[in-house]
Amino acid sequence: MAGVSQTTVSMVLNNRTDTEVRISPETRERVLRVIRETGYIADPAARRLAERRNRIIGVFTYEAVFPSASADFYHPFLLGIEERAEDAGCDLLLFTSAKAASGERRRIFNADSRVRLADGCVLLGRTVDRDDLARLLAEGFPFISIGRRDDAGGPVPYVGVDYPPAVRALVERVKALGHVRLAYVGAGEGGESRTDRMRGFRDAAGPRALHLPVEAGGHGRILDELSAAGVTAVFVEEPADGTALAEAAQARGLSIPDDLSILVLGTPDRRPGSTGFTGFRIQRREIGWRAVELLTDVLERGGMPQELLPCEPVEGTTLAAPRNRKA
């Protein structure tokens, strides 16, 4: 329409003033005018094929993002991710199709995975499949895991939560208040974030401190064991268990924190009226934000970023000096 070759148009569109190819101002203007008038927009697929770059960031989750069961967890991360992606001029591709068959778990690589449509990918989830990680690394596909990950055939790029020092600091504080018998309630394994919390606890509370895994509905029994062992402060891995434990305690007339201090090692549910637990909060939004930031860095300059962000202390109302000290 402008009476020029396709090359010329491409040059004008991409503002290539640098290379061997020169375009006269008149020609450039003519081309731009036609583009403006027709509202021409380059086909993104063809563009991606040629440029090998898209400005699309993939977001992979092992479960659906929006159901309310997981939304509380994912939402703050996505808030940060969207925020940063918007600034970077990137679109977000959610891999909702990743299930091979219905009922099965999502997988990053399946027969017609569209991961490679994205320039890079953010991995989101409490746990991540090791094989998926290994393959991402092997293929050199740029990605950032949200949450620290152990090596999977090589170091994994991540931005996560620095649990150990946060848990240690909390334990030290509790000990300083006079608590002697401490306990950790939760699996303490099954995912890096759990082992990290457990490690922080062990570091500060010593190898002989009580560890109670949670079995379904067993919060009453946990209280039994706690009092049998003379525990005055529990560190709860999962906020949900903190809530359950507090309710169980209340049910049997125990006072929190006077009879038992409860420390929660993660962001508590924000339901109004729920207990204001002492512990710390995970800065999910910041982590999501940083993940995209690091990913775009990797895309431009490469590298193997591994970052841990600090937890934010939460004062709450579930920590007090133990009774014997107070009396």
Partner DNA sequence: TCAAGCTGATAATGCGAATTACCACAGGGA
Partner DNA sequence: TCCCTGTGGTAATTCGCATTATCAGCTTGA
Chain positions contacting a second copy, by CB under 8 A: 39, 41-49, 54-56, 64-68, 71, 75, 78-79, 81-83, 85-97, 99, 102, 109, 111-114, 116-117, 135, 271-273
Q: Name the one residue in this structure whose structure tokens are 């030290």.
A: 172
Q: Which residues contact 238 (CB under 8 A, 6 or more apart)?
A: 186, 214, 266
21 binds, among a second copy, DNA, none (CB under 5 to 8 A by kind): DNA
- Distance in Å, CB of 18 to DNA, minimum: 10
Between 47 and 99, CB nearer to DNA: 47
Give the DSSP letter string of 125-187: SSS--HHHHHHHHHHT--EEEES----SSS---EEEE-HHHHHHHHHHHHHHTT---EEEES-
66 binds, among DNA, a second copy, none (CB under 5 to 8 A by kind): a second copy
23 binds, among a second copy, DNA, none (CB under 5 to 8 A by kind): DNA
| The one among 24, 215, 270, 300 contacting DNA by CB under 7 A | 24
Asked if 39 interacts with DNA (CB under 7 A), we say no
Asked if 33 interacts with DNA (CB under 7 A), we say no
Give the DSSP letter string of 74-142: HHHHHHHHHHHHHHHT-EEEE-TT-BSSTTSPB-SS-TT--GGGSSEEEEESSS--HHHHHHHHHHT--
- Distance in Å, CB of 249 to DNA, minimum: 59
Backbone dihedral angles phi then psi of residue 142, each to the nearest 5 degrees: -65, 130
Distance CA 3, CA 17 (A): 20
Give the burial string for 91-109 (b: 16+ CB within 10 Å, else e).
ebbebeebeeeeeeebbbb
| The one among 42, 187, 229, 248 contacting DNA by CB under 7 A | 42
Q: Name the one residue in this structure whose structure tokens are 């909702």.
A: 96
Both structure tokens of 150: 């152990």
Distance CA 168, CA 304 (A): 27
Backbone dihedral angles phi then psi of residue 154, each to the nearest 5 degrees: 145, 160
Between 34 and 88, CB nearer to a second copy: 88
Number of residues that bind DNA (CB under 7 A): 27
State the DSSP H helix or E strand holding residue 226, giving kind and residue range, or none if neither: helix 219-228
| The one among 37, 43, 215, 300 contacting DNA by CB under 7 A | 43
8 binds, among a second copy, DNA, none (CB under 5 to 8 A by kind): DNA
Asked if 8 interacts with DNA (CB under 7 A), we say yes
Between 13 and 240, CB nearer to DNA: 13
- Furthest C-alpha separation in the chain: 93
Q: Identity (one letter) of the amino acid at 10? A: S
Q: Identity (one letter) of the amino acid at 176? A: A
225 binds, among DNA, a second copy, none (CB under 5 to 8 A by kind): none
- Distance in Å, CB of 212 to a second copy, minimum: 31
87 binds, among DNA, a second copy, none (CB under 5 to 8 A by kind): a second copy
- Distance in Å, CB of 48 to DNA, minimum: 8
Asked if 26 interacts with DNA (CB under 7 A), we say yes
Q: Which spans of this chain sit near DNA (rule: CB under 7 A)?
A: 3-8, 10-11, 13-14, 16, 19-24, 26-27, 41-43, 46-47, 49-51
